Structure formats: structure tokens, C-alpha cells
Amino acid sequence: MRILVVEDEFKTADYLRKGLSESGYLVEVALNGLDGQHLIRESEFDLIILDVMLPGIDGWQLLQIVRRKAQTPVLFLTARDAVEDRVKGLELGADDYLVKPFSYAELLARVRTLLRRGPPREVEHFRVADLELDLLRRRVTRQGERLTLTNKEFALLHLLLSREGEVLSRAQIASQVWQMNFDSDTNVVDVAIRRLRAKVDDPYQPKLIHTVRGMGYLLEVPE
Ligand code: CA
């Protein structure tokens, strides 16, 4: 498992390199944004740990570069416990964050979770409550009734089902369903969700597609 650490504070970078190496990971360290950008473009990693405050190219810009290329999990490190930072990071497609200072045990737990999660499962048949999606036959039913979805609605529902219980940001949805990057008009996501809900949720109980304010959407059976 290869991990890239982009962190300009030498002490923190060194601490992460030593710890993660001892935990059995192959670690590459970039001490500035430019080196980070170079490594992201030239190599493949299983996980990227990204400090937000970097001279030159900052963590947000690097995150956008990562997302243009791949779905590599990204854990970002933020010095401030600012809600805007967390929302921004997740909107830009990061998978998780840690607020500095953090303990190594805490970091390792996040790293393990992100690596275990891996790429979305290749499943052909999904069922959540009485909603079913058959990928091969391109068929969606709820309470046994056949629903007619457009191609994009089908792709959107497939994405939500394959990541059941996970909050997906508008940016993540836009990039996976429309292949648009984060700075495009993500209003298209809200419109598509509304249309999908009208077919999948409005006539039925329980509601399965949920809005998470300031974060995005998730599909799950409510408790
Ligand atoms: Ca920094």
C-alpha cells in the first residue's frame, strides 16, 4: 500500500513517514505543493494525506488535481477546526479529514478505514428496503413496481446505492455521474436528485434519499 504525504512542516512530515512506515506502508513525502503535484501526476497511490496550508500550491488545489485523475482516497489535515474548511474539503472530494494536532493512533485508524473502503464494490443487484436496482437488466423497482428512470437518474441512483450510508458531496456526484469537475454548476445535482426523489421516494415510505445540509446526499434506511 503506497501512501503520499504532502506536508510542509518537516517535523510532522517526518513523524508521519516514520509512523506509517513502521505500520507497514510505503510512504512518499512531499514537503511542498509543487513536489506533491509532481508525485500525484507521475505516480499511483492508494491513499493521499494532504496538508491544507502549503506554500505555493495549497492542499485544495492539489485535491482538485487528484480528483481530475482518480478516485484515490484523500485524507486532509487542517490546522483550524473551522466548519467551512471541512465542508470545503469534502465538497472538493476529500474522503475524510483530521484537525491538527492529532494523535498517531487517530490518524492510523482513519488511514485503515479509508484503505479498507477501497473502490466502490462491483455489485450487480442492489436492494435497500423495498427498493431494488438490477444493473444488468437496467431495472429499478420499489414495492415491486417498475420505475422508469432516465439514464442519468439510473446512474445517480446506482451511485447512491453503491455507496449506501455514505454522504456524497455534490462535487463527487457531479464528477461521477456527469464527469464534470467540482467547479461546474452543481445545481444540476440538486435538480436531478429532486427528479429522482419524485419517482423513487415521494410515493413511498420510508424515504431513502436524504439531504445532509452543507454536505451533500446519502441513501439509507432511516432509523
Ligand atoms: Ca502546513
Domain boundary among 91, 116, 141: 116
Domain boundary among 68, 92, 116: 116
Do 39 and 104 lie in a common domain? yes
Does residue 13 carry a pLDDT above 70? yes
Q: What is the pLDDT of residues 198-207, one digit of tens each?
A: 999 999 999 9
Residue 30 pairs in a beta bridge with: 6
Q: Please give the grid coordinates belonging to residue 166.
A: 455514505
Task: Report the separation in Å between the CA atom of 54 and the middle of ligand 1, taken as the mean of its atom positions.
Answer: 5
Average pLDDT over residues 38-66: 91
* 139 Cα: distance to centroid of ligand 1 (angstroms): 48
- Residue range(s) defining the domain that contains residue 210: 125-219
Q: What is the distance between the alpha carbons of residues 219 and 221, in angstroms, rounded to a whole number?
A: 7
| Grid coordinates belonging to 140 | 429499478
CA of 8 to the centre of ligand 1 (A): 5
Whole-number Å distance, alpha carbon 81 to ligand 1 midpoint, is 14
> Do 139 and 84 fall into the same domain?
no
CA of 214 to the centre of ligand 1 (A): 25
- How far is the centre of ligand 1, averaged over its atoms, from the C-alpha of 96 (Å)? 17
* Same-domain status, 142 and 171: yes
Ligand 1 centroid to Cα of residue 78, in Å, is: 8
pLDDT reported for residue 187: 84
Q: Provide the 3-class DSSP secondary structure of residue 160.
A: helix
Distance 52 CA to ligand 1 centre (A): 6
**For residue 20, pLDDT beyond 80:** yes
Question: 69-83, 91-105, 140-154, 192-206 — which is least confidently predicted?
Answer: 69-83
pLDDT at residue 41 is higher than 80: yes
CA atoms within 13 A on the CB side of 96: 18
Say yes or no: 169 and 93 in one domain: no
How long, in residues, is the chain? Answer: 223
Same domain, 145 and 52: no
pLDDT of residue 121: 47
Residues 8 and 108 in one domain: yes
For residue 192, the CA-to-ligand 1 centroid distance in Å is 38
Ligand 1 centre distance from Cα of residue 106 (Å):
19
Rounded distance from Cα 11 to ligand 1 centre (Å): 11
**Do 108 and 201 sit in the same domain of this protein?**
no
pLDDT of 122 strictly over 60: no
Give the pLDDT mean for 22-32: 95
Confidence band, pLDDT 50/70/90 cuts, at residue 166: confident
Whether the pLDDT of residue 185 is over 80: the answer is: no
Q: What percent of the chain has pLDDT over 70?
A: 94
3-class secondary-structure state, position 209: strand
CATH of the domain at 130: 1.10.10.10
The model's confidence at residue 182, banded by pLDDT at 50, 70 and 90, is low
Mean pLDDT confidence for 87-102:
85
Residues 133 and 105 in one domain: no
CATH of residue 62's domain is 3.40.50.2300
Buried b (16+ CB within 10 A) or exposed e, 173-209: bbbbbbebebeeebebbeebbeebbebbbeeeeeebb
pTM more than 0.85: no
Residues with CB under 5 A from ligand 1 (ion): 8, 51, 53
